[in-house]
Amino acid sequence: MKLSNVLKLFTSILMLSFGTSAIADTLSDTKDRGHVRCGVSEGVPGFSNPDENKNWEGIDVDVCRAVAAAIFGKGGDEKVEYTPLSAKVRFTKLNNNEFDILSRNTTWTLTRDAKMGLTFNGVNFYDGQGFMVPKDLGLTSALELDGASVCVNTGTTTELNLADYFRDNGMSYEPVVFEKADEVLAAYGAGRCDVHTTDKSALAAQRTKLAQPDDHMILPETISKEPLGPVTREGDEPWSDIVFWVLNALITWDELGLEGGEGIENIVGDTSQGAEVKRILGVEGDTGAHLGLEKDWAYWALFEVGSYGEIYERNVGVNTKIGISRAGSPNASWKNGGLLYAPPIR
C-alpha cells in the first residue's frame, strides 16, 4: 500500500473512533442514572406546575412521565427529575446537556428547529396567542388596544407576535418585559400594564392565579399559531425517536377510544382485541426493539399516565380550573375533526 493510502486509512480509523465516541447515547445515560431529566416551566397550571405536595403535574409533565414509564416500566413515571426554566434560558440549558427533554409550553418554529440545534417531536397541545385585560376597561376586541401597555415574557414567540400584530394593524403599544412568568403576572395584577399576553391556554391558567380571576377576561382574537410539544437536542436521534413515539402512543390510544391506567391489564389479556392494539401493547411483534426499549414500552406509558384524552381532561379539560373544552378544538382527535393524528405504530 502506498504511504498516502496508509495515512488516509489511519485518518479514517481515527475519525471513525472519535466520531463514534462523540455520538450521544442519552438512553444508556438515562438508564445508568435511573431517571429521565425533564425541563419544565417555573409554574404554568395545567402544563407544568408543582401541586401542594411539590409534585410536578400537567400535560407537559405527563410527556416526561410517560417517557420514563416506557423506559423503566412499572412505577417508572416517578423516575423523573424536573428542572424549572424561564423561557429565556430553556434552549441554552437543553443544548448544554443540563436535561434531556424540554417539555415546557414551547412553540415549534422554523428558526428554533433549523437554526438553534433543536428537534421538535410532535405536538401535545395546539395553542394560539391571546390577550387578557381587566373587565372594567370595557374592551371587546384586541383591535381596541392601540396605545396600551402590554406585559410580556422575554425570549418567547409571544414577544415577536405582539410586535407583528400591532404593526400589521397600525397600532402602537408599550412593552413591559419580564423574564419570569410570575413577574409578568404580578406586574399585570398590580396594574403596571393594561394587558397580559401569552398563549391562550397559559392565559387561562395564569388567570386562575390572580386575586380576583373573574375581574379579568380574555379577548376573542387568537393572533398566532403556537403548536407546543417536547423538544430534544438535534443529533440526539435515537432519544428523539423515543420521545416522539411515546407521545404518539398516548395519542393512538385516544384515537382507538381506549383508556390507560390499571384497566389496561384487562385489554392485554383480551385475545379478541385487534392487531393494532396487540402490537401497541407488545402482545404481538416487538416495536420496542427499534427504540432500544422493552416490548411493553407503550403498555407501561399508558398504564402509568393514561391516553392523551385522559391526560388532557385531567390537566386542562372542562372539569379542571383551566377549563378548556377539547371538543371542537384543534386538540380533538382527527377522528372528531381535530388535528391530533398519530403516525402508525408498526
Ligand X SMILES: N[C@@H](CCC(=O)N[C@@H](CS)C(=O)NCC(=O)O)C(=O)O
Binding residues for ligand X (CB under 6 A): 41-44, 86-87, 105-107, 153, 156-158, 180-181, 198-199, 202, 206, 226, 228
For residue 214 the three cell numbers come to 373573574
Q: To the nearest whole angstrom, how small is the minimum distance from the Cβ of residue 96 to ligand X?
A: 18
For residue 55, the minimal CB distance to ligand X (Å) is 17
| Distance in angstroms (rounded) separating the CA atoms of residues 149 and 44 | 23
Least Å distance, CB 332 to ligand X, is: 20
* Smaller CB separation from ligand X, 180 or 295: 180
Whose Cβ is closer to ligand X: residue 210's or residue 268's?
210
Looking at the Cβ atoms of 77 and 226, the one nearer to ligand X is 226
Task: Return the number of the residue (100 or 199) whose C-beta is nearest ligand X.
Answer: 199
Sequence-separated (6 or more) residues with CB below 8 Å from residue 287:
245, 279, 280, 295, 297, 298, 345, 346
Read off the C-alpha cell for 87.
423561557
Question: Please, are residues 151 and 195 in contact by the beta-carbon 8 Å criterion?
Answer: yes
| Alpha helices, DSSP H, located in 169-274 | 181-189, 200-207, 237-255, 264-269
Minimum Å gap between C-beta 90 and ligand X is 8
Q: Which helix (H) or strand (E) holds 195?
A: strand 195-199
CB 152 within 8 A of CB 158: yes
Nearer to ligand X, 121 or 198 (CB): 198
Cβ 273 to ligand X, closest distance in Å?
38
